[in-house]
Structure 1
Amino acid sequence: MAVVVATLAACSSDREPEPYVEKPVEPLYNEAADALSKEKYNKAADLFLEVERQHPYSIWATKAQLMAAYAYYQAEKYPDAIDTAKRFIELHPGNKDAEYAYYLIAICYYEQIVDVGRDQKNTEEALKALSEVVRRAPGTDYARDARLKLDLTRDHLAGKEMEVGRYYQKRKQYLAAINRYRAVIEQYQTTSHIPEALDRLVECYLSLGLTHEAQVAGSVLGYNYPGSKWYEDAYALLTDANLRPVADDRSWITRAFDKTLDTLF
């Protein structure tokens, strides 16, 4: 067996590498486009990058670089797609297709968002990248889609904060839980998690004996979400403690909601 392996190794080392062949730019680009249309995404990415390598000063090279990023995206090779799109932006910041490159980066991060029980680095990167698309390409279809995805991304991040807050609350680490619920209220007020966050604040404040803050949280919850199950729960908690919701313009909770209204309108 050792002799056979040695013989094969010798044959392999004696074999000359395939000669490098430079192809005309248009056939090479068309070959890449054909691979892309046939959903051979890895091959397409390699060929598009070969266009850039063999013909770096051709007008085809710029287009090929962005198409390589798109092929990587289709192959779900998101890190490669992001790196290639970023390099396109660095080399061609004023190109008309730079807006699409920013959008492609954002989508790559967005499609890597995982459930709230895991690390949210990609979610945070998606939030930044989508916001960048809205800033750089206002009025475009890219920006409109990015805004929709921003809402979902913020909701995801808020969900992570809520999960951690509930974890602390169950272990009676109320101050740590309050900080998480407070982050939801101050940073993610357009999300679906706000009513629960306010209700959880009522629970935590009552557990700490901070009755006034509990009453204010209940008041803000009742004013903004009067028919929700979360307000029903908060109101019951307060009345069981012989308390009622109380408005207070000086509370951080009230100021947080006033700030959000100013931003929206």
Structure 2
Amino acid sequence: MKNLSLMLLILSLSLTTGCSWLGWGDEEQTEEDSAGLTEKDFYERIQSSLNASNWTVAISNLQLLESQFPFGKYAEQGQLELIYAQYKSGDYESSIASADRFIRLHPQHPNVDYAFYVKGLSEISQTGGFFDSFLPTDSSLRDIGEARGAFTTLTELLSRFPESPYAADARKRLISLRNRLARAEIHVANYYFTRGAYLAAANRGRFVVENFQQSPAVPDGLAVMAQAYYLLEMKELADNSVEVLVANYPEHPSLDSNGQFDFERRLLADQDSWLDKVSFGVLKRIKPPSFDSRAVYDKVTREAELGNGDQSQQENKRSIWSLLTFGLLN
């Protein structure tokens, strides 16, 4: 009986220690620790957590600060810091919700532009993926719903607070978002070519030209319009699109050395597929048009390719000793 009681005691102590080690019960401990503290002392404790990048504890204490001192001196500042702490912890949805709440409750606050800014950052962060930090990915191929939301948020920030200290960074991010949205429209147009929806493809190209001027996707928008109108047998509209393309973007890959748009070449595959070879050309697969000139007109893509080229040249110049010793004897 004594052994059974001893085993139950050890088991209960182990469970208690395990729950504490896993972090369960932290909220109760935080509430007990905050009992009897003044608002200033509580806020200073929160600042120490923020400075130590302890976002989980800071978020819990900021929420407690608002519940215990809803009309205190640091209530509104605490709400702004809660938006930031949630953003830094990776809880972007909560950060966006907290920012919307602050904007709704305090539209005339002197720092409401900060709420817009962090909300936009959270929406931009939602557009990224887990492998973005490890592998080169094309963000324009993903769903652009969050990117549209970020574009709207930062546009409102600049329209309402053009002199904000966050305006300069917001403009740079807007350019990146604009280019991503425009490129996504070109991807959709290329997909419409595969489905034979040429009118829909032409509308996407025209949308890019009309709404995303000065973006690197505009040349492809003109090329999409030219190819789609050609397939729709609208020769005049196709010629007009080609004329604008030649006048403004003579280096576009769809133009030959004479400045002519080669419509037919883009309808044929670059090489025979296995189906062509098996059927001796009877079942020749037609490759739908696809336009992507980022290597020519997108500065970021061009610099990345140049950087990869320089890196490959350096690797080619490495000696045999460098390869065998993994760079130790370079």
Q: TM-score range by the shorter chain?
A: 0.7 to 0.9
Cα 1:154–1:227 change in 2 (3 A) is same
For residues 136 and 87 of structure 1, what CA distance do their matches in structure 2 show?
Answer: 18
Q: Deviations over 1:141-175 (max 9, x none)?
A: 31221111111111111111111110111232211
For residues 156 and 254 of structure 2, what CA distance do their matches in structure 1 show?
Answer: 35
Contact 1:205 1:213 in 2 (8 A): yes
In structure 2, the residue corresponding to 1:209 is in which secondary structure? Answer: coil
- Other-structure match for 2:112: 98
Q: TM-score, structure 1 length as denominator?
A: 0.79
Contact 1:22 1:54 in 2 (8 A): no
- Other-structure match for 2:241: 217
Contact 1:195 1:230 in 2 (8 A): no
For residues 239 and 170 of structure 1, what CA distance do their matches in structure 2 show?
Answer: 15
Gaps of 5+ in 1: 241-265
Q: Aligned letter for 1:237?
A: D
In structure 2, the residue corresponding to 1:103 is in which secondary structure? Answer: helix
For residues 187 and 263 of structure 2, what CA distance do their matches in structure 1 show?
Answer: 24
For residues 197 and 52 of structure 2, what CA distance do their matches in structure 1 show?
Answer: 56
Contact 2:185 2:205 in 1 (8 A): yes
Q: TM-score, structure 2 length as denominator?
A: 0.64
Aligned: 1:181 with 2:242:
no
Contact 1:82 1:108 in 2 (8 A): yes
Q: Aligned letter for 2:195?
A: R
For residues 171 and 89 of structure 1, what CA distance do their matches in structure 2 show?
Answer: 44
Q: Cα offset for 1:46?
A: 1.4
How is 1:13-162 mapped onto 2 (pairs within 5 angstroms)? 21-114=35-128, 115-162=139-186
- Other-structure match for 2:193: 169
Cα 1:108–1:173 change in 2 (3 A) is same
Q: Deviations over 1:223-262 (max 9, x none)?
A: 222333344487242799xxxxxxxxxxxxxxxxxxxxxx
Cα 1:231–1:137 change in 2 (3 A) is farther
Cα 1:22–1:84 change in 2 (3 A) is farther
Q: Deviations over 1:162-218 (max 9, x none)?
A: 111101112322112112112211211121011112112222222222111111001
Contact 2:99 2:119 in 1 (8 A): yes
Gaps of 5+ in 2: 1-7, 17-27, 129-138, 266-330
Contact 2:223 2:241 in 1 (8 A): yes
- Other-structure match for 1:235: 260
Q: Aligned letter for 1:136?
A: R
Q: Aligned letter for 2:262?
A: L
Q: Aligned letter for 1:95?
A: H
Q: Aligned letter for 1:235?
A: Q
Greater share of helix: 1
* CA RMSD of superposed structures (Å): 2.6
For residues 229 and 118 of structure 1, what CA distance do their matches in structure 2 show?
Answer: 25
Contact 1:218 1:231 in 2 (8 A): no
Higher-Rg member (1/2) = 2
Contact 2:254 2:261 in 1 (8 A): no
In structure 1, the residue corresponding to 2:141 is in which secondary structure? Answer: coil
